Amino acid sequence: MLKLVWSLAGVLGLRRYLEDYFLNKLSETFGSQEPLSTSFADAYTPPAEGIKDIPAQGTDSGILAELRRTGVVSIPPGIYDFPVEGFCLRAGAYSPNKGDGYLAAPLKGSRAAVISAVLSGSSKHPEVSQQAVQTLLWAVESGVRYTALKGDARIAADAILSKEHKNNLGQSFWDAVPAALQNLITDEALKRLPSDMNNLLVTYRTLKTRIESGSTYSELERLAVLFNAPVSVGGSVAAGTWSAIPGGYYARVFPSGYTSARFQVYVPPNASPVNFSFGDFIMVPADTSRQRLGFRPAPDDADHLSWSDGPDIEIVFKEGERLSNPDVIEALKKLAEILGADKVEVTSGDRTRAEQERLINDKKTTTSYEKTPHGEHQGYIAADAKFYKDGKQINPDTVADMAGGLSDIGGIGYYKDFTHIDLRKRLEGDIPTTWGKGGNK
């Protein structure tokens, strides 16, 4: 019936009037019911006198184990490193670059309690993959109802969320527009809304539709996350700035893209232990073109890859490439440190289904994409990379030879212009598998 009315309105020249009426209702509803509204203006301020950059005590396995078991942990005085998995909390924004400044901020918005529950609850459910948790967060952010969740998002919701939080997803800001008309209001009509709201709602609507139709993670990511961000223009906060968190402790983050980061917590001397949970706050960028970020502890087998306080090493990516496995990123940094390199260029990162199928078609492998080794983290367990010192590339043979000294690296490919680094398990005599040596492929 509504579609018929809409068609008649077009014939009678009244569609613009109806569009404006529903756009106004949508604008009002979204303004009061935006799922996550936290902005940089909400950020906790840095400490007045700053914090001396003392070396971290490293990853405390007991603290991480408790955080994974309960989602909250009591942290005594000290400074600690946590290897963490990250989550995009602002669809349509850029993944962070090295050097982007972030501050902690409280969760605000109509779905703040649900998002907090996902972040703290996912800490207790490492069996739920990073991609499944991320898909659920995008579903919450874009206004998908619980009953419309499919696949990994539904699995994550059922594992993590309480009945109360699932019920909280029973309504959406989209309800301001009758369901039968939601797809009839065009993106062109949405452009009549303020630009920020228009861009966000167009992204949310497309993301919502794709999640409800069961699109793959890579399809959702291409929509929700922008890569190869321009140089940051948000210089009001330097990278690694501490935030003063209510409760008497401090936190800061060093992101490696949006899926992994080095996270530090500082509890001052003589202070009482503080209760810490990743559901208590998120990280917001000084440059508003970047992602808001949420976190959970990295899985158990990432503990040995706690971040180094050594040299400042830049990781850059060839256009179109990404590397979402934090273990591989850390292995590259360790190797760079041994080599004395100051820059690593990832020329090939996560292997996509299309790439694997192309290798099969070229008869270079018979392994299906589903059976390729992706390890415990999201992302392929290998990368092709070039290493640089003072602007000059380090000989790939030298890189490959040195890689054999790192126990994390189980496969090494010798190539003319780059080195292949693979985190497969070492099999014979704790010696890495190598190929191409002498042949310089």
pLDDT in tens, 343-375: 999 988 876 666 677 778 888 777 776 666 654
The closest of 93, 104, 109 to 36, measured between CA atoms, is 109
Q: Residues 6 or more apart from 158 whose CB is under 8 A from it?
A: none
Are 435 and 413 within 8 A, CB to CB?
Answer: yes
pLDDT in tens, 288-331: 889 999 999 987 644 333 333 345 678 887 877 776 666 788 88
Dig out the tokens for 286 from the structure. Answer: 């000084």
Q: Give the up-direction half-sphere exposure of residue 341: CA atoms within 13 A in the CB hemisphere.
A: 25
For residues 173-185, average pLDDT: 55
Which comes out higher in pLDDT, residue 26 or 161? 161
The residue length of the chain stands at 441
Are 284 and 292 within 8 A, CB to CB?
Answer: yes
HEC-encoded secondary structure of 262-305: EEEEEECCCCCCEEECCCCCEEEECCCCECCEEEEECCHHHHHH
Q: CA 406, CA 422: separation in Å to the nearest integer? A: 11
The closest of 326, 361, 328, 347 to 396, measured between CA atoms, is 347
Q: CA 72, CA 93: separation in Å to the nearest integer? A: 29
Q: 395 falls in which pLDDT band (50, 70, 90)?
A: very high
Q: CA 78, CA 265: separation in Å to the nearest integer? A: 8
Q: 236 falls in which pLDDT band (50, 70, 90)?
A: confident
Per-residue confidence (pLDDT) for residue 106, from 0 to 100:
97
The H helix count followed by the E strand count for the chain is 14, 18
